[in-house]
Amino acid sequence: MSKSTKSRYAESGVDIDKGNDFIDRIKPIVSNTFQRGVLTDIGGFGGLFALGGDRYKDPVLVSGTDGVGTKLRIATMCNKHDTIGIDLVAMCVNDVVVSGARPLFFLDYFSMADLDVEMATDVVKGIAKGCEISKCSLIGGETAEMPGHYAPGDYDVAGFVVGIAERDKIIDGSDIRVGNKIIGLASSGIHSNGYSLVRKICFEELGLAVTDHVDELGCTLGEELLRPTRIYTESLLNLIRNFKVNGMVHITGGGFFDNIPRILPQGCKAVIENQSWDVLPIFDFLREKGNVTPEEMCRTFNCGIGMAVVVDAKIADDAVQQLTALGEKPFIIGEVAKKKKKNDRSVEINCCATLE
């Protein structure tokens, strides 16, 4: 069938030719992310990646998948889609690097009612940028038109990453001991969690628009809310080459209270010191304007700490120094303590006084 003849499928809302044109458009963008090991170009049924070499004696593959939640609504409201892909990659690679794994390759899923090639290309540009930052190859994905399922202009994205680690160097928190120090790495902002509450406070309750300049933030609301999630992979992989890291935590959905306990050995708790890091203005703004309790802030948002690293106390200062040299903004935010009672909370944040 010639492209000039519109198919019945296209009449129903799915244009195969437009999808093929989109693939042709993004091929050069995607190919810029290819690292050693990529065996296929995009467009096939599966992406091939060769592990190869003798770099790993007993390699273990570490996988992760995630999305960006309702931060997509902010991108749509701002009509800016070239950074949401960075968020998508960040949410995935930050999850696998806490095991000590180096990201190898990434795949994405993009769907909307009627494929907007320009918008979709911008999304892929962001994904490619995220892959370049994390030194991860974008080797494939899926684009779907689903008329009747999404409202016009709406879309969804999901990502999938595979990393690799040496079996005997996997970081799982089992080496964490009482007295270990907890280093927090500054976030770039809200990252990609808690946006349902953000939208309720900012748009429903305060009646703000993404174009409104907010004095407390020093920029428009849209600019603040679309700040890309920070990608920590290269800094952390450099750190674990030089220091013994006992545990790492990606501070994402669930904040401090739900994420830190995931790596703590039985009988241990994390004691976070108040006023030990810089709380970004956006979190003060949300807490004050939204009347959110400090405890809920610490369970909903990262509150300025996107990643936590647990190390022996004797190397904490040196680790902070290296992380600073690598471009991070680290703070020693607490330590690991012994639970005195079985019903002790696994995370104690001094009543979340940092946010009071």
- Segment 114-127, tens digit of pLDDT: 889 999 999 999 99
Question: What confidence score (pLDDT) does residue 48 get?
Answer: 79
Q: What is the mean pLDDT of the chain?
A: 90
Sorted by sequence, the CB contacts under 8 Å of residue 218 that are 6+ apart come out as: 281
Question: What confidence score (pLDDT) does residue 313 get?
Answer: 98
- What's the average model confidence in pLDDT over 72-86? 97
Closest CA to 267 of 332, 176, 334, 183: 176
The position carrying tokens 């990646």 is: 49
The position carrying tokens 């997509």 is: 72
Question: What confidence score (pLDDT) does residue 345 get?
Answer: 78
Residue 353 has pLDDT above 50, yes or no: no
Residue 180 has pLDDT above 80, yes or no: yes
Question: What confidence score (pLDDT) does residue 54 get?
Answer: 65
Residue 9 has pLDDT above 60, yes or no: no
Residue 4 has pLDDT above 60, yes or no: no
Interval 126-145: pLDDT, tens? 999 999 999 999 998 888 88
**Where does the pLDDT of residue 247 fall: very low under 50, low under 70, confident under 90, or very high at 90 and above?**
very high
Question: 8-169 belongs to which homologous superfamily?
Answer: PurM-like, N-terminal domain (3.30.1330.10)
pTM given for the model: 0.90
Residue 25 has pLDDT above 90, yes or no: no
- CA-to-CA distance for 38 and 52, rounded, in angstroms? 11
Residue 1 has pLDDT above 60, yes or no: no
- CA-to-CA distance for 277 and 332, rounded, in angstroms? 8
**Where does the pLDDT of residue 211 fall: very low under 50, low under 70, confident under 90, or very high at 90 and above?**
very high
- What's the average model confidence in pLDDT over 164-172? 95
The yes-or-no answer to whether 8-169 and 181-355 have a common fold is no
Ordered DSSP codes for 140-164: EEEEEE-TTTS-TT-EEEEEEEEEE
Question: What confidence score (pLDDT) does residue 14 get?
Answer: 58
Interval 295-319: pLDDT, tens? 999 999 999 999 999 999 999 999 9
What tokens appear for 347 in the block? 């995370």
Domain boundaries, the chain: 8-169, 181-355
Count other Cβ atoms within 10 Å, centred on residue 210: 21
Instruction: Indicate the Cα dihedral angle 81, 234, 297, 228, nearest 10°.
Output: -10
Residue 202 has pLDDT above 90, yes or no: yes
The position carrying tokens 């889609």 is: 81
- CA-to-CA distance for 229 and 220, rounded, in angstroms? 18
**Where does the pLDDT of residue 356 fall: very low under 50, low under 70, confident under 90, or very high at 90 and above?**
very low
Residue 252 has pLDDT above 70, yes or no: yes
Extract long-range pairs of 77-80: CB within 8 Å, 24+ residues apart: 77/210, 77/222, 78/210, 78/222, 78/226, 80/222, 80/226
- Please tell me the CATH code under which domain 181-355 is placed: 3.90.650.10
Question: Are the C-beta atoms of 254 and 299 separated by less than 8 Å?
Answer: yes
3 state DSSP class of 247 = strand
For residues 40 and 181, the model is more confident at 181
Residue 249 has pLDDT above 80, yes or no: yes
For residues 273 and 21, the model is more confident at 273
Residue 41 has pLDDT above 90, yes or no: no
Percent of the chain residues topping a pLDDT of 70: 90
- What's the average model confidence in pLDDT over 94-117? 94
